[in-house]
Amino acid sequence: MSNPFFETWTTPFGLPPFDRIQAEHFPPAFDHGMAENIAEIAAITGNSDAPTFANTIEAMERSGRFLNRVGGVFWNLNSSNTTDALETIARDYAPKFAQHSMRIALDPALFARVAELYERRGTLDLAPDQLRLLERQHLGFVRSGALLPPDAKARMTAITERLATLHTLFGQNVLHDEKDWQLVLEESDLAGLPDFARNAAAQAAKERGQEGKYVITLARSSVEPFLTFSARRDLRQVAYEAWIRRGEHEGEHDNRPLIREIVALRTEQAKLMGYASYADFKLDDSMAKDTSAVEWLLLQVWGPAKEKAAAERAELQDCARAEGMNEPIAPWDWRYYAEKVRQAKYDIDEAEVKPYFVLENMVRAAFDTAGRLFGLTFTERPDLPVYHPDVRVYEVTEKDGRHVGIFLHDNFARSSKRSGAWMSSYRDQENFDGAVSPIIVNNNNFSKGEPTLLSFDDAETLFHEFGHFLHGCLSNVRYPSQSGTSVRRDFVELPSQIYEHWLAVPETLSTYARHHQTGEPIPQDLLRRLLAARNFNQGFGTVEYTAAALLDLEFHTRSDAADTDVAAFERSVLDKIGMPAEIAVRHRPTHFQHLFAGSGYAAGYYAYLWAEVLDADGFEAFLETGNPFDPDLAAKLKTIYSSGDTRDPMELYTAFRGREPRIEALLKHRGLTQSLGDA
C-alpha cells in the first residue's frame, strides 16, 4: 500500500490528502521521520567547520520537517476525529517522541555549538529576530537539562518519557468518560427546556442511536444548557455529578493515580533543574516570572469575586424560596436560578436571545471583523479536502488578492472529538527558504441543530478561538520556531481574548445578531438589555475560574508531591481559600486537561487572567478613540499578531498601547470594582 506521507502532496495549498490517510500510515512515517531528524542533527554536529548561525541555528530550523508534517496531521486528527487505532498509536508513540526530543535536547555536541554561538552573540552581527532565536534556543537547551551531569540527564529523559505517556492516558480517560456517559430522556423529562435545547438533545440522541428520544452528553454545550433550564432538579443533579466526576471513577480510566505520578515527576524535574518547585521552574520563563506575581494577581480578584458571588447566592436563594424550594442552593441549582434571576433583573431570557445568535452569522461576524481590522477576506472552498464532513474550509486572502492561509473550521461536538475549544495548525507560516503559508484549524464543541444556535458565551468562544487563528494566520516571521502562537504561555491568550471584545461592539451585534426565522436584527431594546447583563453572574464565573488557577498553583508549588491524595488535596486547597460550597471549580483535577493532558498550562492556568489584564487594558485604547475599528490602533495590534516570538511580549504590548498594562480595566470589565490597593 502506498503511504501518502512518502509522496509529494499535489492537493491545493499543500493540504493533507485526508481521504487517503489511514491510521496504519503513521507508524512507518513516524519512524522514518525520527530517523531522518537524527541524521539531520548528526550532520550539524559532524560539521568540521566552526559553528555559525547558518550552519547550526538555521540548520536546526530546517531539520525535522518531515516529522513535523506527519505529526501535524496525526495530533490534529487524534484530537478532532480520533479512532481506537489512533489512540493506540498515541499511547505507543508518546514516550518515543519524548525520548526523541530529549535525545536532541541533550545532545552535548549540538549544545556545544549553540553555546559557543551564544557566548559570541554580540559579535555575530545578527538581525533582531536572529538574536532572539539564538537566545531562546540556548535557553531551551538549558531548561531541558543540557548543563546537568550525565546521571541527571538520564533521569530527565526518563521523566520526560513517562510524563508523555501519562499525559496521553489522562486525556484519553477523560474522552472515554465523555463518550461513555449519556442521559437519555423522554418527552416527559424535558420540563423547562426551550426549543433550542430540545432540538440539540434530539440531534445528540439521533447521533447516538437513540432516535425518538433526547440525550444530554458531557459536552459543555450540552450539559450547561440542561443545568440552566431543566426544571427537573433530580435530573440536574445526575447530569451535574457526572460532569464534575469525569476521570474520577475507580478502574482503568481513573485519573487520580495519574495525577499523583504527574505531580511527583514534575516536582522531581524541577529539583533536578535547581528549583524548589515546578511552578518556580515553569514561571521563570514567563511574563509573570515568579509565583508571587501570579498569586498577587489571582488574589486581586479572588476577594472581590467571592463577595460578588455571595451577593449573587443570596439573590438565587430568594428566588428559589419564592418558587417553593427551601433547601440551600446546591451546585446543580446555581445556573437554573441564575437564569431566572437574570430574566427578572434584566428582563432577558436566554431562550429569547439565542435565536439571534445563529452559528453561520457569528462566523461571518468574526470574518468581517477581521476584514475591517486587518484587511482579510475569507472565501469558502468546498472543493478542498477535509477530515470530517462537519469541517468548513476557507481560503484567506488580503484585499489585493494575495493568498495568506487556509482556515479549517470544525464547530460541532462529536464523540470522536475531545471536549473544549482550541486552535491548532497543520502547517505554520515561515519565510525562511521561501514563503510558506499557514494551515490553521479552530475546533469548537457546539451542539448541532437546524440551525445551530449559540449562547452569547458560545459566540465569545468562537471569537476567542478565531483570535488564536488570526495569531497563526497573520504571522509574518522568518523562522518556523518563532511562528504564530510560539510565544510565552501567558502572552498567547492576549490575541484571542482581545478579539472577543469585538463581538460585544453594538455595531457587530446590530449587524449579525439576526433571528434565525425572520432574519430581523436583534431589537435595540433586547440588545441594550443583553449588554447590560454582561456582568451578571460574574462573581460565579470569576470564582470558578480563579479557584482552578489557585488549585493549579498549589499543585505545582509543592516541594514534596510523592504521596498526593488528589481528592484530599483538592478539598484542603478549597477549604484554605474559602471556596463557596455552591460553586465547583471550573475544571476539577481529574478532568483538568490544561494541567494534566500536557504540560503547556501546568503552573500556567493563571495565563487567561494575566492576558485579561492585557486584553481589557488594550481594548480600552480603542474605546478611548471612540472607534472600535480605529485604523491606526488596528495596525499596531496587527503587529502583535504578526510578530510571533521575534520580540519580547511586553515590548510588543507597550508599542501597541504606549505604556505597560494596568489592572483597572480588568476589574471594570468583570464588574469587580475593588481598588488596586485593597487586596
Which residues are catalytically annotated?
465
What residues contact residue 509 under an 8 Å CB cut-off, 6+ apart? 503, 522, 527, 530, 531
**Distance, CA of 128 to CA of 415 (rounded, Å):** 46
**Distance, CA of 413 to CA of 415 (rounded, Å):** 7
**Distance, CA of 399 to CA of 401 (rounded, Å):** 5
Residue 202's Cβ-count burial label (10 Å; 0-12, 13-18, 19+) is buried
Query: What grid cell was written down for 588?
Result: 476539577
109 neighbors 45 (Cβ within 8 angstroms) = yes
518 in helix, strand or coil? coil
Q: DSSP assignment, residue 25?
A: G
**Distance, CA of 497 to CA of 500 (rounded, Å):** 5
Residue 223's CB is within 10 A of a number of other CB atoms, namely 22
608 neighbors 587 (Cβ within 8 angstroms) = no
Nearest to 602 by CA among 279, 290, 356, 201: 279
419 neighbors 324 (Cβ within 8 angstroms) = no
92 neighbors 28 (Cβ within 8 angstroms) = no
Residue 383 CA, distance from chain mean position: 29
662 neighbors 283 (Cβ within 8 angstroms) = no
- Cα four-point dihedral sign 320, 323, 325, 330: negative
**Distance, CA of 649 to CA of 489 (rounded, Å):** 11
CA atoms lying within 13 Å on the CB side of residue 350: 29
**Distance, CA of 674 to CA of 679 (rounded, Å):** 8
Cell 460553586, located at residue: 583
CA distances from 116 to 52, 129, 232, 447, 646 (A): 9, 19, 68, 54, 21
